[in-house]
Structure 1
Amino acid sequence: MAKPALDRTRITRRGVLVAAAGTLFTAACGTDESNSPGPTTRGSEELIIGASLELTGPGSAHGVLQERALRITVDTLNEEGVPVGNLRRRIKMIYRDNGSRPETAAQQATELISKENVHALIGGITAETSLEMLKVAQTEQVPFISLAAADGIITPLPQRTYIYKLQPNAEDVARMMADLLAAKPKVGLIYSGGAYGQAGLAAVRKALGGKLAAESQLPPTGSNVSTAVRKVADAAPDAVIIWAQAPDSGAAVQALRAASFGKQVVFDPGAVADDTLTGDNATAAQDAFAIHPSSLAGMSLTDTTMADLDRRDFIYRYIQKHGAFRGFAPYTSDAVRLIANAARLGRSVDRGRIRVYLENLITEGIAGSYDFQPIKHGGMTADSLAVFQVTNAAWVRVN
């Protein structure tokens, strides 16, 4: 299959935003830490963050990778501590496994806030766990950074004032897919259920318009996907988009190939996990494309910015500890760095001040760039995305 020329040369905001970030960290706040909700912990030397992650269950394909990234970054930051006011605070990270169950994630969020007195929360790999966690975080007025992709996590904004997300917006991903498939007159879509899949469905419909010839929703994780996949394959599209997180993405592409569909396949970022390139999945996914943050390409010795150097250091530590770096964007790494930066800039671990400084952060992280504003709480900037192709069980960037 010929690789498309996708040199998306354009004037991007990314470099401008990062270059200007130092001048845009000035948020209007009072100086009295007692004015905002949550513990002020004036005498504490810890920045306490709670994480509820999918370490078991259907979301574990991504959850385990995010836990690894989080532990590496917390250890790195704790080597010198986080300067907050007159103190250098150590990050105290409290980990919980929600088992990919929304009700468990909500319970853990409640306990982390009420019993552990966390200053901020991270978690929710799946849309469903995030949506339950954010209800608790918003009610208790605790900053929460979601690791899920559904756009509804941060909207409507008046009801999500303490909520942020890092994954790319569905509309940005779908727009790149439309560019990639510009020469294909008929496109099929296979998407997962729930808020995640619905966001993808809406975005793809908007981006492709009349070119979308067939669509089908996958059954719950672990179910037989053959019937849902065959519905799209039988429409004989020129390409198929699979909008589903691992392991559903691997099951879908296997079923597509089993249905004798040999044409182009495009994954959304949720497919980019080790599971998708493991065993029989790797053969089925060969030559498929994926839209994903460009950090997936790894590191280069020519990288010279502070963000590049941080990324290189992170990847080096990850390889040292786990043997290989592939198949995901380390959103948890960026989440803990964003919280630490907000506490540093606000000179306080007060929950309200962390929230105010979070929504004025413009920064480039390990996974990509973020441009938070009072009217926008996520996700990753569109120019952080790139196109990759599966080549010999590896994700290779397409230029």
Structure 2
Amino acid sequence: MTLSALTAAMLVMSASACASSEDAADVEEVIIGADLELSGPTAAIGQAYQRALELKIGQVNDSGVLGNRKLRLDPKDNRSDSSRSLTNVGAFANNPDVVAVVMGMCAQCVKTVAETVKDRRLPTIALSPAGTVVAPIQESQWIFKVGPNAKDNAAALTAEITTLKKKRVGLIYTDDLYGKEGKEAVELALQKVKVGGVPVKVTSVSVKPTATDLSQVVESLVDKDPEEAPDALVVWTLAEQAALAATSAREAGFDGSLYFDGAAAGELFLAGQSATDGATMVFTQTMVIDDVIATTPATAARKQWFRDYTAKYGSYNGYSSFAADAVQMVTNALQQSTSSSRDSIRSIVETSQFDGLSGPIRITPDNHSGLMPQALTMLVARNGRWRLATS
């Protein structure tokens, strides 16, 4: 009897082991490669992207929406070096399990790998704010973009400046692809504006993306005769330089209005940055979604993402929703396709339409930059944190 019982138990265990082995064999691992700035001057943003990608991939896998397919992130550090991006993306292209790649802030990195992703037919989603990463469209058939566009940000800022009847605008922008886009967009938008019948005067100066002292640049703009000094200062830089510009402006006696482009978004809280209080920034609503009442499923999803990210990482980072929406793009494509082929994913992503965590996203064959202008809103810095301007 004992022998019979042992034999029966062994048969059950063997059957269970076989079933588990078969279940494991049925799971298809789908890899999303990530080429990010995990070290160097923009490491804080790259790390925020990586956290968001990992969190969103975990949520997708836990939901079971992909059936027997499971997502996995393969992150690589490009150190803001386009040659390293070329190496990283080449490695992703050689791995048949990598179905798509997400790239970080570095616009030049995306431009450098454009030919490779096209030749290797590798769907690539750029999180860089520079619109040039998907232009011209004929050369960017395999590249898509999530995040605000310079012309949309400039239009929103110009509307705010016009409403307050600012006559003289100083513009500080970074001497890189995105900064130059911003300069062109702001100057073009303000060319059409007149206050009291007089065109708005714009004075622009550039700074190196790695500059850590902006005092001289700011003083050259604001330390002028009252009739010549700007009554509004637009800062088109990343968050750390925006804070430096704000501090330098206040120290130079500037008491006009401060405006930040969305690139200045980062952490929700601005600890110790009293100089930025009262500054206005154009960005997506997700940054301050705790100020918003959830009246739609999309708003409820954004509030939940805000809570999940904050609970896991201690604070919220404005860039995180762009990375999460990139994962959602790939997930949607996998759900709509019976295969995990790169060609199938690219063709589906190219017609993506969904309400993302960043806002409404619409991609077409003629426009690979998906975030709609309606996603943007005005935020204001109050008591060391960003708030919805209308709240």
Q: Distance in 1 between matches of 2:50 and 2:32?
A: 13
Aligned pair 1:188/2:170, yes or no? yes
Q: Secondary structure at the match of 1:313?
A: helix
Aligned pair 1:138/2:118, yes or no? yes
Q: Distance in 2 between matches of 1:375 and 1:261?
A: 43
Quote the residue 1:61 is aligned against: 44
Does the 8 Å contact 2:131/2:149 carry over to 1?
yes
Q: What is the CA-CA distance between 1:133 and the residue it aligns to?
A: 3.5
Aligned pair 1:203/2:185, yes or no? yes
Aligned pair 1:76/2:66, yes or no? no
- Correspondence 1:104-123 to 2 at 5 A: 104-115=84-95, 117-123=97-103
1:353–1:270 CA distance, 2 compared to 1 (3 A): same
Question: Which of these residues, 381, 384, 389, is aligned with residue 390 of structure 1?
Answer: 381
Q: Secondary structure at the match of 2:213?
A: coil
Does the 8 Å contact 1:295/1:329 carry over to 2?
no
Q: Distance in 2 between matches of 1:60 and 1:262?
A: 32
Q: What is the CA-CA distance between 1:322 and the residue it aligns to?
A: 1.5
**What one-letter code is carried by the residue in structure 2 that aligns with 1:105?**
S
5+ residue gaps, structure 1, are: 1-42
Q: What is the CA-CA distance between 1:117 and the residue it aligns to?
A: 4.1
1:302–1:178 CA distance, 2 compared to 1 (3 A): closer
Q: TM-score, normalised by structure 1?
A: 0.83
Quote the residue 1:325 is aligned against: 316
Does the 8 Å contact 1:152/1:195 carry over to 2?
yes
Larger RCO of the pair (alpha carbons < 8 Å, separation 6+):
1
- Correspondence 1:249-288 to 2 at 5 A: 249-274=242-267, 277-279=270-272, 282-288=273-279
Quote the residue 1:91 is aligned against: 71
1:278–1:63 CA distance, 2 compared to 1 (3 A): farther
Does the 8 Å contact 1:293/1:329 carry over to 2?
no
Q: What is the CA-CA distance between 1:274 and the residue it aligns to?
A: 2.5
Aligned pair 1:295/2:275, yes or no? no
Question: Which of these residues, 19, 34, 48, is aligned with residue 31 of structure 2?
Answer: 48
Q: Deviation digits for residues 161-207 of structure 1, max 9, x if unmatched?
A: 01111111111110111110011011110000110101101100111
Does the 8 Å contact 1:105/1:133 carry over to 2?
yes
Q: What is the CA-CA distance between 1:317 and the residue it aligns to?
A: 1.6
1:159–1:224 CA distance, 2 compared to 1 (3 A): same
Does the 8 Å contact 2:247/2:275 carry over to 1?
yes
- Correspondence 1:141-160 to 2 at 5 A: 141-160=121-140
Question: Which of these residues, 294, 297, 300, is aligned with residue 306 of structure 1?
Answer: 297
Q: Secondary structure at the match of 2:69?
A: strand
Q: Distance in 1 between matches of 2:185 and 2:128?
A: 16
Q: Secondary structure at the match of 1:325?
A: coil
Q: Distance in 2 between matches of 1:223 and 1:77?
A: 40
Q: Distance in 1 between matches of 2:320 and 2:154?
A: 18
Does the 8 Å contact 1:368/1:384 carry over to 2?
yes
Q: Secondary structure at the match of 1:274?
A: coil
Which is greater in Rg? 2
Q: Distance in 1 between matches of 2:57 and 2:309?
A: 13
**What one-letter code is carried by the residue in structure 1 that aligns with 2:328?**
R
In the alignment of these two chains, the number of paired residues is 353
Q: Distance in 2 between matches of 1:106 and 1:114?
A: 12
Quote the residue 2:213 is aligned against: 224
Q: Distance in 1 between matches of 2:215 and 2:370?
A: 33
Q: What is the CA-CA distance between 1:258 and the residue it aligns to?
A: 2.3
Does the 8 Å contact 2:27/2:68 carry over to 1?
no
**What one-letter code is carried by the residue in structure 1 that aligns with 2:203?**
A
Q: Deviation digits for residues 268-326 of structure 1, max 9, x if unmatched?
A: 011011298243xx112111000001111224785253333332332222122122225
Q: Distance in 2 between matches of 1:116 and 1:390?
A: 46
1:58–1:301 CA distance, 2 compared to 1 (3 A): closer
Question: Which of these residues, 193, 208, 215, is aligned with residue 204 of structure 2?
Answer: 215
Q: Secondary structure at the match of 1:203?
A: helix
Q: Distance in 1 between matches of 2:112 and 2:269?
A: 27
Q: Secondary structure at the match of 2:202?
A: strand
Identity %: 28
Does the 8 Å contact 1:105/1:124 carry over to 2?
no
Does the 8 Å contact 2:267/2:317 carry over to 1?
yes
Aligned pair 1:239/2:238, yes or no? no
1:101–1:248 CA distance, 2 compared to 1 (3 A): farther
**What one-letter code is carried by the residue in structure 2 that aligns with 1:338?**
M
1:179–1:304 CA distance, 2 compared to 1 (3 A): closer
Question: Which of these residues, 147, 150, 163, is aligned with residue 143 of structure 2?
Answer: 163
**What one-letter code is carried by the residue in structure 2 that aligns with 1:356?**
S
Q: What is the CA-CA distance between 1:383 and the residue it aligns to?
A: 0.5
**What one-letter code is carried by the residue in structure 2 that aligns with 1:98?**
N
Q: What is the CA-CA distance between 1:135 and the residue it aligns to?
A: 3.6
Q: Deviation digits for residues 59-109 of structure 1, max 9, x if unmatched?
A: 1232222221111111111113343xxx53100110112222222222111
- Correspondence 1:31-46 to 2 at 5 A: 45-46=28-29
Q: Secondary structure at the match of 1:119?
A: strand
Quote the residue 1:35 is aligned against: none
Using the TM superposition, name which of 190-199 and 303-312 deviates more. Answer: 303-312
Q: Distance in 2 between matches of 1:120 and 1:169?
A: 22
